[in-house]
């Protein structure tokens, strides 16, 4: 009798177990059918998006899985440093819904949005604009660090007659008028004429102004030099090249001289009156277009649409492998890697740790900048500006100081010809009527006209 009861219980146990397994399998299949986003697509999308902010990562991921191992949620860790010691943020995505939660390193939720916002963002970066919509006219044309300087408490305009006018801060002789007295009105910089280009280096504390004259000489003032002074031994300069660099807490701006013999001279190497060749590099028989220095480790320069890597310690020049024609090379504020722009307007960057060029996407981009706090502003060929990021000082131009990172904000501003930031959370733009606009740190969080450049030039 006992044996029969045990047998019956055993059979019932088998039936119960099989029913449970069938139910479990059925539930797993039902759950899998609810999954809207694949693990592979989500991983690529998240990494491409957060790679713009934090190039170091993700360093592994944690997964939420079903009983059969199907992934239904992923967590990614992103870092500020390449050693994966300083955690920047934690990102979780639900594969059922596409909902994303971004947390700070301490676990505090800083943003919540959906993967569709990122996908819409990517589509917007590929909107149909062409460079032919944005032809610039030479007459009345102003460009930052060519014939107008802004950003560090003083402003300067190079007039078409070769003279310079300036106003603003002068505690280190930035106005070049022989004094250390600030000026609220425009004054002419005395003792210099026949200037064809102006540029500056330095930061909020101290700046040096350089002026290239028609005869190929370079003059400087600022950094406690209160009047224009010729740089001895520098007589065959073709152009001045400005490059900015910001690493999140510090801002540096450098000026290089491109010589007629195609050597490159660094004008901002500790002492403003000392001219030093940049690692002794001579680019014979080449037409140099751009040069940029990233920290003190390596340089990238552009020759005839090809980007070259230079190890400053060994002076090794190696062409970077890419099929695209490179149009611009410059630094990316807040990150220690080089940004490039292709002829088609695609955003690229040099991943030094991997020794290759990768893409950030987009097309038809004329120019773009990022500020030191990962606030992005981009200028497209149609004159439209899109921006996204932290927005601590209103850099996004949307009237707030709230973060806006899940998609791009279209800045409400007329057609823009030039966009500029000295990487200190101030944004400047020049429209097609030569109005100078500004927003961000020290200005309104909404783009505001400061003045019309043509009117200033005609009045002074």
* pLDDT digits (tens), the chain, 460 positions: 444 455 555 554 454 444 454 444 445 566 666 778 888 888 888 877 776 556 556 766 678 887 777 888 888 888 766 667 777 788 898 888 889 898 877 888 877 888 887 776 544 443 333 333 333 334 347 889 899 999 889 999 999 999 999 999 999 999 999 999 999 999 999 999 999 999 998 877 888 999 999 999 999 999 889 999 998 878 888 888 887 765 445 666 778 888 887 667 777 643 444 444 444 444 444 444 455 443 333 456 666 667 666 554 444 456 677 778 887 776 544 444 567 788 888 888 777 666 677 777 777 788 777 665 556 667 776 788 888 888 889 989 999 999 887 677 889 999 888 888 887 888 999 998 999 999 999 999 999 999 999 999 999 9
Rounded to 10°, the helix 39-50/115-125 angle is 60
CA count, 13 A, side-chain hemisphere, 445: 13
* 54: in domain: yes
* 96: in domain: yes
* 308: in domain: no
The C-alpha atoms of residue 118 and residue 408 are separated, in whole angstroms, by 9
How many domains, the chain? 1
The C-alpha atoms of residue 403 and residue 183 are separated, in whole angstroms, by 36
* 108: in domain: yes
* 270: in domain: no
* 430: in domain: no
* 437: in domain: no
**Ordered alpha helix ranges (H), 51-110:** none
Say if CB 431 and CB 420 are below 8 A apart.
no
Domain that holds residue 91: 39-120
Buried b vs exposed e over 384-409: b needs ≥16 C-beta within 10 Å? bbbbbbbbbbbbbbbeeeebbbbbbb
CA count, 13 A, side-chain hemisphere, 236: 6
* 65: in domain: yes
Say if CB 209 and CB 179 are below 8 A apart.
no
pTM of this structure: 0.70
The C-alpha atoms of residue 206 and residue 289 are separated, in whole angstroms, by 28
């Amino acid at each position: 009798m006992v044996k029969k009861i045990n047998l019956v219980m055993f059979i019932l146990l088998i039936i119960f177990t099989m029913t449970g397994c069938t139910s479990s399998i059925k539930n797993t299949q039902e759950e899998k059918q609810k999954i809207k986003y694949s693990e592979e697509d989500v991983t690529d999308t998240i990494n491409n998006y957060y790679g713009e902010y934090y190039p170091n990562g993700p360093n592994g991921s944690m997964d939420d899985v079903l009983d059969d191992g199907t992934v239904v949620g992923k967590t990614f860790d992103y870092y500020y440093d390449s050693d994966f010691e300083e955690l920047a943020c934690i990102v979780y995505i639900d594969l059922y819904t596409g909902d994303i939660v971004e947390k700070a390193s301490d676990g505090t939720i800083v943003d919540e949005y959906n993967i569709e916002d990122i996908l819409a963002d990517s589509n917007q970066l590929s909107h149909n604009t062409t460079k032919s919509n944005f032809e610039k006219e030479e007459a009345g044309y102003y460009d930052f660090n060519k014939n107008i300087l802004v950003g560090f408490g003083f402003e300067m305009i190079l007039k078409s007659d070769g003279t310079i006018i300036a106003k603003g801060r002068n505690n280190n002789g930035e106005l070049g008028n022989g004094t250390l007295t600030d000026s609220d009105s425009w004054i002419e910089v005395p003792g210099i004429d026949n200037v064809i280009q102006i540029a500056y280096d330095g930061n909020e504390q101290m700046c040096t102004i350089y002026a290239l004259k028609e005869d190929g000489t370079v003059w400087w003032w600022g950094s406690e030099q209160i009047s224009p002074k010729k740089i001895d031994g520098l007589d065959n300069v073709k152009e001045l090249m400005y490059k900015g660099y910001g690493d999140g807490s510090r801002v540096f701006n450098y000026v290089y001289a491109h010589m007629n013999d195609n050597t490159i001279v660094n004008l901002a190497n500790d002492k403003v009156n000392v001219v030093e060749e940049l690692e002794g590099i001579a680019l014979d028989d080449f037409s140099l277009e751009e040069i940029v220095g990233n920290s003190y480790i390596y340089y990238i320069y552009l020759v005839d649409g090809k980007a070259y890597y230079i190890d400053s310690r060994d002076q090794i020049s190696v062409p970077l492998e890419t099929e695209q024609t490179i149009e611009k090379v410059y630094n990316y504020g807040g990150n220690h890697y080089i940004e490039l722009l292709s002829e088609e307007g695609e955003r690229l960057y040099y991943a030094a740790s991997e020794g290759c060029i990768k893409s950030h996407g987009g097309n038809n981009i004329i120019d773009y900048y990022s500020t030191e706090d990962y606030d992005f502003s981009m200028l497209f060929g149609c004159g439209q500006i899109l921006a996204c990021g932290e927005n601590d000082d209103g850099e996004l131009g949307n009237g707030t100081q709230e973060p806006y990172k899940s998609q791009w904000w279209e800045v409400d501003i007329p057609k823009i010809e030039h966009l500029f930031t000295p990487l200190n959370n101030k944004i400047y733009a020049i429209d097609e009527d030569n109005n100078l606009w500004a927003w961000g740190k020290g200005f309104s969080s909404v783009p505001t006209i400061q003045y019309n450049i043509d009117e200033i030039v005609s009045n002074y």
